[in-house]
Amino acid sequence: MSETLSNTRSMNMIEAIRDAHDVAMERDDDVVVFGEDAGYFGGVFRCTAGLQEKYGANRCFDSPIAESGIVGTGIGMAAYGLKPVIEIQFADYITPAYDQISQEAARMRYRSNGEFTCPIVIRTPTGGGIYGGQTHSQSPEAIFTHVCGLKVVIPSNPYDAKGLLLASIEDPDPVIFLEPKRLYNGPFEGYHDRALKGWKDHEDGKVPEGYYTVPLGKAKTVRAGKDVTVLCYGNMVHVCEAAQAESGVDAEIIDLRSLIPLDLEAIEASVKKTGRCVIVHEATKTSGFGGELMSLVQERCFYHLEAPIVRVTGWDTPYPHAQEWTYFPGPKRVGDALKKVVEAK
């Protein structure tokens, strides 16, 4: 943390994200915010509410429904010297902009040999758990981690969301900032039939006022343990905590927070200590980021491993509507994997 502030306020993730925008816009006139319904209305999840009123329509505005246009113009603004923080309404709708993101934003620096850069932040709600069906539930992080030149960040709580967003806005390179929408209003352990817990009583719902950053590329050990390392991020952090508590396995749970850059040191140190590893993400399994994590662990920790690494992920299907909870990798599946891995001889 770059600055320690004693004043904290209880915030949910929406408020924390809004607050990060506010702090960034206050500190830096070059920060502009736009996206579909992001101006007057303040976004369909209200993450930019009040910003147009406070900073004017020149710094926070609505956009046409054209994701490629949103990102393309954002790249132009970034190249000019602004710091665009743009919202794509759902991660499922980012694909029309994939060309601009993967071929343009990601490569501006490289292809101009540093002459032009693209300090843009593309925020978008990710993941399922809201009965959103195929087109409001996907987790596309791996299609961005596969593109060199992009950074990919996924917070799991309000404190990190604000600090990571401020760090992303300051970052000199393009950042894909994925916000697990199921966590906006409270930590979610994977039990859709239980009452929603708000962020109020959660340690990470206490958010410092004003400016602070959480650096990209630093994982957080959510729980220290000695028998198995759990690598997770976003929605799955809370699911893994629940799975640990229910299974009683002494797991070390690591919230990666950013996938690119990745905190390899933390991963390596933990797996070398525990000798076992479970990787959990909500996205589909095949070619998911878990495959990359698995390779890295294998490359660096092979001689310390006492059991095969196991992945718990979404199934290789589109995100179904009615069968959402069969798709969602909940605490039961994670708990079973933890037990299996610690029991393996």
Partner 1 sequence: MDGFADAENMTGSKTSDRGFRVPQPPARPGEAPDFSNFDFGEPGKLPLLDAEAPVEAFEPFHDGLLRVLDMDGKAHGDWASMVSEEDLKEALTAMIRTRAFDQRMMRAQRQGKTSFYMQCLGEEAIAVGCALALRDGDMHFPTYRQQGILFVNGIDPEAMMNQIYSNKKDPLEGKQLPVLYSFKDNGFFTISGNLGTQWPQAVGWAMASAIKGDDKIAMAYIGDGATAEGDWHQGNLFASVYRAPVILSVVNNQWAISTTSAFAGADKNTFATRMASYGLPALRVDGNDIIAVIAATRLAAERARAGLGAVAIEFLTYRGGAHSTSDDPTKYRPKEELGSWPLGDPLDRLKQHMTVSGLMTDEEIAALEEAAEKEMREAENRAEEVGLVHAGEGADPAKMFEKVYEEMPGRLLEQKKEAGF
Ligand X SMILES: Cc1ncc(C[n+]2csc(CCOP(=O)(O)OP(=O)(O)O)c2C)c(N)n1
Interacting residues toward partner 1 by CB under 8 A: 29, 36-37, 39-41, 44, 52-59, 61-69, 92-93, 95-96, 131-136, 285-286, 315-318, 320-323, 326-327
Residue closer to ligand X, measured from CB, 93 or 191:
93
Residue closer to partner 1, measured from CB, 215 or 318:
318
Residue closer to partner 1, measured from CB, 159 or 319:
319
Residue nearest to ligand X (CB): 93
Residue closer to ligand X, measured from CB, 98 or 116:
98
CB 95, min distance to partner 1, A: 7
Q: Which of 45, 48, 75, 29 shows the shortest CA–CA distance to 165?
A: 48
CB 57, min distance to partner 1, A: 4
Told to judge if 146 belongs to the known catalytic residues of this protein, a careful annotator would answer no
What would the 3-class secondary structure string for 61-108 be? Answer: EECCCCHHHHHHHHHHHHHHCCEEEEECCCHHHCHHHHHHHHHHHHHH
Angle, in degrees to the nearest 10, between helices 235-247 and 331-343? 60
Structure tokens at 140: 């596309």
Chain positions contacting ligand X, by CB under 6 A: 36, 65, 89, 93, 96
Q: Which of 21, 136, 238, 281 is catalytic?
A: 136
Question: Residue 49 gets which letter from DSSP?
Answer: T
What is the residue whose two structure tokens read 């101006």? 39
The dihedral formed by the CA atoms of 98, 311, 332 and 317, expressed in degrees to the nearest 10: 40
CB 92, min distance to partner 1, A: 7
Partner touching 5 among partner 1, ligand X, none, CB below 5 to 8 Å by kind = none
CB 321, min distance to partner 1, A: 5
Dist CA 27 CA 180 (whole Å): 26
Strand pairing category for 175-180 and 151-153: parallel
Structure tokens at 207: 């958010």
Q: Is 180 helix (H, G, I), strand (E, B) or coil?
A: strand
Dist CA 190 CA 328 (whole Å): 8
CB 239, min distance to partner 1, A: 16
Partner touching 321 among partner 1, ligand X, none, CB below 5 to 8 Å by kind = partner 1
Residue closer to partner 1, measured from CB, 16 or 337:
337
Partner touching 110 among ligand X, partner 1, none, CB below 5 to 8 Å by kind = none
Angstrom CA distances, 135 to 138, 188, 206, 322, 345, stand at 7, 21, 32, 13, 42
Partner touching 6 among partner 1, ligand X, none, CB below 5 to 8 Å by kind = none
Partner touching 145 among ligand X, partner 1, none, CB below 5 to 8 Å by kind = none
Which residues are known catalytic residues? Answer: 136
